[in-house]
Amino acid sequence: MARDKEIRIVGAGLAGLVAGINLARRGFEVRIHEGRDYMGGDLSYADSTIMDVPAIGAELGVEVEEALEPWTLTRAWAYGRKFEFGLPRGVEGFTVERGKGERSLENVLYRQALGEGVEVLLGNRLSKQEIKELPPGSIIATGLDREAFEAMDLPCRPFFCHMATGKGDPSRPSVIIYLDGFTREFGYYFQRGDAAGALVFSAQRPMTDGEKEDFKAKLAAGDGIEFDAWDDRVATWAAWPLGSWSNRRLLRGDMILAGTLAGLISPVLLFGVNGALVSGKIAAIAACDRDAALREFKRLAPLYWPQFAFRKCREYLPHAVLKPLTQAILSTYDPDSFPYAMLFTLWPPGYRYRTR
Ligand SMILES: Cc1cc2nc3c(=O)[nH]c(=O)nc-3n(C[C@H](O)[C@H](O)[C@H](O)COP(=O)(O)OP(=O)(O)OC[C@H]3O[C@@H](n4cnc5c(N)ncnc54)[C@H](O)[C@@H]3O)c2cc1C
């Protein structure tokens, strides 16, 4: 196919690759600058997310199944109390392989991008200045990288993550969430096949050794989970786009934003996979028709503000208040109840894409 239009994309992550695939199909000559010299993250792990897989295929034009494994049962530990629950009716959850593996979502999309003739320049990290000097209309899809938020002058919150991976026990639920005094964020355990991992997040400052030990003790006491090797460096370079109420932006000056940088992450559970995929498609639309893309972008995530308010409560309320509040919310959870189904089905951008 003759390529008469050129476009540059920064970041061969989820959003950048979906944008690249869609633009290549629209006749663009696409060049993606990727900072890493290999595809995927430093560590292979699994994200948990809910997703409408047929809609992703039909609306975004990418195949993602290879990277997914269904997730059904969830357990939560909230301040020492155990809760078992399923997803709301009609909602599907998956663990998503990430990182260097052949079946990781970035590698699954990378192969599709190469098949469409997208050029991906690996080991080509752009500096803040180089990002600012890109041609108008370039797509910035740099994910959680703090530097890109700074280059674009976008509000963000640094976050720190403590993580371990190892072998799992298939008899456990695939996702276990830990809410307790060790962090104002949350810790979680994922299971995918016989692989498993644990992650715990903290915003603004790294966790103290005591807080980390507390989390490890909760994993061991609640579910008998123990890992040998823990990595404190994971995501010390990272930021969430949760710096302000109005952090969702499709455009910044002449540039098009996509993925985490566009603010498409759930304020409560920090789900970002689904939003990144959908925003890649919207960024591709923006390269051709900005008004149409803006309409689509605004339609997303009507529950962002209430969720952001809930997150602010978690940030500022003392644990003595958070404990009964969190336990009360989890006790009233009912997979058939309309408000919970609403929260799950309306939040993640794109979950309702099919109903457009
Ligand atoms: C530890 C951790 C756990 C998470 N858990 C979950 C979860 O359970 N569920 C969920 O839904 N989401 C989760 N997320 C969030 C989810 O991973 C992200 O929201 C999603 O990957 C964002 O996709 P993206 O396309 O915006 O960025 P990414 O997929 O991260 O891609 C960004 C790409 O840009 C490249 N890049 C960055 N800066 C430059 C530069 N200057 N020049 C060139 N290239 C650059 C990076 O190398 C990277 O390849 C988690 C994130 C982390 C870090």
Consecutive sets of 10 residues in the chain, 356 residues long: mean pLDDT of each? 81 97 97 94 82 88 95 89 88 90 96 98 96 96 93 90 89 92 93 89 88 95 92 83 84 95 87 92 96 88 78 88 93 83 69 51
Q: Given this model, what pLDDT does residue 193 score? A: 80
Is residue 167 assigned to a domain? no
Residue 333 falls within a domain, yes or no? yes
For the CA atoms of 49, 53, 59, 60, the dihedral, rounded to the nearest 10 degrees, stands at: 60
Total domain count, the chain: 1
Among 18, 2, 1, 50, CA closest to 262: 18
Task: Look up the pTM and report it.
Answer: 0.94
Enter the tokens of residue 74: 């969830």
CB of 148 sitting under 6 A from ligand 1: yes
Task: Select from 17, 69, 144, 250 the residue to mutate for testing ligand 1; criterion: most ligand atoms less than 8 Å from CB.
Answer: 144
Q: So what's the pLDDT on residue 322? A: 93
The helix, strand and coil proportions of the chain, stated in percent and rounded to the nearest 5, come to 35, 25, 40
Considering the domain boundaries, does residue 300 fall inside one? yes
279 pocket-lining for ligand 1 (C-beta < 6 Å):
no
Within a domain: residue 170?
A: no
Residue 350: per-residue pLDDT: 65
Tell me the CATH number at 139.
3.40.50.720
Pairing of strands 73-78, 81-86: antiparallel
Q: Is the CB of 64 under 6 A from ligand 1?
A: no
Task: Produce one character per residue of 98-131: b if its CB has 16 or more CB atoms within 10 Å, e if not.
Answer: bbbbeebbbbbbbebbeeeebebeeebbbeeeeb
Residue 336, φ and ψ in degrees, nearest 5 = -95, 0
d(CA 193, CA 201): 24
Residue 138 lies in a domain: yes
Is 216 inside a domain boundary? no
Residue 306 lies in a domain: yes
Is residue 150 in some structural domain? yes
69 to each of 40, 182, 278, how far by Cα in Å?
18, 30, 19
Range of the domain at 290: 5-157+238-355
